[in-house]
Amino acid sequence: MIKPNVNKNDIHVALKYIDEHGVPARSQSRTYNLVNDDGITYPAKYVVNLADYLANGVSIASADYNY
């Protein structure tokens, strides 16, 4: 598994991006969700992938994640 280099702020930026742009159909969660303080759910793997991409320009293929 590749460990992304993200921090709490990067995750918040990714959540804001998702709130503005939505989640692609292929990135919907089948297993794990991240739930914010307001009870809104997000696909956890997509959030981490997006946070790493926005913060570091690194795209992590979903195949690199352990399920």
Cα separation, 61 vs 67, whole angstroms? 13
Distance in angstroms (rounded) separating the CA atoms of residues 52 and 4: 6
Q: Residue ranges of the domains in the chain?
A: 8-64
Is residue 5 very low, low, confident or very high in pLDDT (cuts 50, 70, 90)?
confident
What pairing do the DSSP bridges indicate for beta strands 41-43 and 33-35?
Answer: antiparallel
What would the pLDDT profile of 26-66 be if each residue is shown by its tens digit? Answer: 999 989 999 999 999 999 999 999 999 999 987 766 555 55
pLDDT of residue 63: 54
Structure tokens at 29: 């969660």
Q: 7-21 pLDDT, tens per residue?
A: 999 999 999 999 999
